[in-house]
Structure 1
Amino acid sequence: MSRARSLLRYLLARLALAPVMLWLIASLVFLLLRVAPGDPIDALLGSRAPAAARAALRSQLGLDQPLWQQYGHFLGQLLRGDLGESLTNQEPVSATIAGSLPASLELGVMALLLAALVGLAVGFSGVARPEGKLDLAGRLYGIGTYALPPFWAAMMVQLLFAVWLGWLPVGGRLPPTVLPPEHSGFYLLTGLQQGLASGHWELLAGAARHLVLPAGTLGLLLSGVFANALRLNLRRALDSDYVEAARSRGLSERRVVLRHALPNALLPVLTITGITVASLIGGALLIEVTYSWPGVAFRLQEAISQRDYPVVQGIVVVVAALVVAVSVAVDLLVALLDPRLSF
């Protein structure tokens, strides 16, 4: 009962810190946008627009107010759950995010699954013969994939499989002959439902073909993190006292690895999964831009180039909230699975 109470206190403390973290992130992005070079009025009207038109638009958008007033208005909107309107098309920022978030979630989930499967397989491959050829190849793979620049890797993959070989589309999310679903941004799930219901698999096939290159590139780049983490933690677990005790009882090496060493080695990997979600965002920005994938990161890049303050602020706040939520969920899951942890 005392552990359950401690776990509850830990969860409440993390949840209490979440709004503070979001406030700090929102305040930081607000200030950085205002001190960064560039003027949203120039992006909207051009630098040669008449001074009267520029002043009128600046007043209409509230950009002529003192910085502290703009900040207070921004925080007030944020507390009400209002992310504001885009400066470029006057569309609610929440609608912009809702329209592009499913694409990013689809890409991120598939990339994370691929990264975990490939990374864990590579990390586990060198267990039988430490310092052998497989182990050395796995270490080189982990270091190499982690060190590759995402934009360069994406362009090389795009050049090879889309341009030279012509196996897969170069970018986008659907072929031009397939209409996107009207009420859902999750093309894979909607395509699967349509296929099972009516036998028409065009949406699923088109969405899957367009997802292979961006998700494959991002997944392989992140798989090195899982490979290195599993290898290091599995070697540490195999050298521990409880594994030696299991061997001394006459258990087979396969049983020792799978039943005793591997479960304990996977717990730190689970923690790394939460950190990898944050890495997904940075990597997805370059991947989405390279493959013209209409996700949140792609919209963020467009908004930054257009100096669209509300869109940039809204996207950063929403993504930060998702990262905080995933981090808290992973920490809580690790605490539930590992009785050795105390709070």
Structure 2
Amino acid sequence: MDRSNKLLRYLASRLLLAPVMLWLISSLVFLLLRVAPGDPVDALLGSRASVAAREQLRQQLGLDQPLPMQYLDFLGDLLKGDLGTSMVSAKSVGAIVRDALPASIELGFAALVIAIVLGLIAGFSGIAKPEGKIDLAGRLYGIGTYALPSFWAAMVLQLIFAVGLGWFPVGGRFPPTLVPPSGTGFYLLDGVLQGNWQVVSGALRHLALPAFTLGLLLSGIFDNALRLNLRRVLRSDYVEAARSRGISETQVVLRHGLPNALLPMLTIAGITVASLVGGALLIEVIFSWPGIANQLQEAINRRDYPLVQGIVVVVAALVVLVSLVVDVLVALLDPRLNF
């Protein structure tokens, strides 16, 4: 069987597994929310509400139904594309997710670009002189940024650059003195498309610090990955053969080592998308960023079952989709890969 047929079979198997993964994640979230301590009725009415009021609200929310019936209703709505209605705001969960998702994607994409740039610079810096001072500094950078507690790093950077120096706003996504642009929901993109550079400047100024914070914390992943892959590649037989032909070390690294070392970085970038969800939760809360992670934190605190379930399903679908795209790209770019 040729490679194209194997690739198609691999893609088909991944597409068939995606709904199964989403079903398992959705079912697990549904079950965990129901067995976790606490009652959404108490969160909505308070502990002093009368028994009659509590029972009436429980019926309205469908919580009086047996757990299997609640689960079947949840799956039925999910198959129809209905994520439900928020218990707290009575708004459609789909509408809440659509409003918050662009902010999180904008923050996540900017943070991922910063993480890749910083990680590649740090990972490549010590190749000229392994085990030297620059190489040691790069390794310490990779370990340190990966091990830093995100909440601590965010508050320190916030105190330095927002409170102390005043270079950036303390929080928020857009200046309160300006009207947010209408369009795609991505403020930077909308500002560029509309030619409104005041909007672009305001959105970029609010985005810079949270994106840099999250990118800095994730850059250690790319630093360590590039460092290990590049060293392994530079010890391979074909690189030694290139050196024996009299090719300069710079050309060996740039033409033979770096392209092969960068291929696994695609997989690392796909995995980092899942890390962005957890990392963005604390960053969005600390910087008051109105994204989907912030909505998730509020929904968990309020025991808003439909909103938590809807956000987790959407995020899981995005992670599965990105992982699928990355796997296909790696398979297309790396002929050595077997399926």
The TM-score by the shorter chain falls in which range? over 0.9
Q: Which residue of 1 aligns with 2:177?
A: 177
Instruction: Name the residue aligned to 1:156.
Output: 156
CA distance in 1, matches of 2:13, 2:239: 35
In structure 2, C-alpha distance between the alignment counterparts of 1:174 and 1:333, rounded to whole Å: 35
Q: State the distance in 2 between where 1:182 and 1:34 align.
A: 38
Aligned to 2:182, what secondary structure does the other structure show? coil
Partners of 1:280 and 1:149 in 2: how far apart?
14
How many angstroms apart in 2 are the aligned matches of 1:228 and 1:311?
Answer: 37
Give yes or no for the alignment of 1:341 onto 2:301: no
Give the distance between the partners of 1:183 and 1:4, measured in 2 at CA. 40
> Counterpart of 2:144?
144
Match of 2:263 in 1: 267
1:62 match: 62
SS at structure 2 position matched to 1:179:
coil
Give how far 1:175 is off.
Answer: 1.1
Q: Which amino acid aligns with 1:222?
A: L
Paired with 2:212 and 2:177, the residues of 1 have a C-alpha distance of 24
State the distance in 2 between where 1:114 and 1:164 align: 23
2-structure distance, mates of 1:281, 1:80: 26
CA displacement at 1:130 relative to structure 2? 0.3
Q: State the partner residue of 1:276.
A: 272
One-letter identity of the residue aligned with 1:10:
Y
Match of 2:317 in 1: 321
Unaligned runs of 5+ in 2: none
In 2, Cα distance between equivalents of 1:50 and 1:284: 39
Map of 1:296-311 to 2, 5 A cutoff? 296-311=292-307
Unaligned runs of 5+ in 1: none
Matched-pair identity in %: 73
Normalising by the residue count of structure 1, what TM-score does the alignment of the two structures yield?
A: 0.98
- Alpha-carbon RMSD across the aligned residues, in angstroms, is 0.8
Matched, 1:242 2:257: no
1:202 matches 2:198? yes
Structure 1 residue 176: Cα displacement: 1.0
- Aligned equivalent of 2:103: 103
Residue 281 of structure 2 corresponds to residue 285 of structure 1: yes
User: Which residue is 2:31 aligned to?
Assistant: 31
- Residue 69 of structure 1 aligns to which amino acid in structure 2? M
1:183 CA displacement = 3.3
Q: How far apart in 1 are the matches of 2:21 and 2:188?
A: 33
> Which structure 1 residue ranges, 4+ long, deviate > 3 Å from structure 2?
none
Deviations 1:211-234 (A, max 9, x none): 011000000100000000000000
Mean CA deviation greater in 18-27 or 180-189: 180-189
| Distance in 2 separating the partners of 1:113 and 1:104 | 14
* Alignment match, 1:85: 85
CA distance in 2, matches of 1:275, 1:167: 32
Amino acid at match of 2:321: A
Equivalent position SS for 1:87: coil
Report the Cα distance in structure 2 between the residues aligned to 1:14 and 1:90, rounded to whole angstroms.
36
Q: Does 1:42 align with 2:38?
A: no
Aligned residue identity for 1:283: G
Q: TM-score, normalised by structure 2?
A: 0.99
Query: What letter is aligned with 2:144?
Result: G
Q: In 2, distance between residues paired with 1:56 and 1:181?
A: 42
**C-alpha distance after superposition, 1:238-291 (max 9, x if no partner):** 011000011111111111111111111011111111110000000000100000
Match of 1:74 in 2: 74
Once residues 266 and 138 of structure 2 are traced to their aligned partners in structure 1, the CA distance between those partners, rounded to angstroms, is 20
| Number of matched pairs | 339
Post-superposition offset of 1:165: 1.3
| Contact 2:182 2:190 (C-alpha < 8 Å) held by counterparts | no
Query: Quick one: distance in 2 between partners of 1:273 and 1:183?
Result: 28
Q: Structure 1 residue 231 and structure 2 residue 227: aligned?
A: yes
Aligned to 1:193: 193
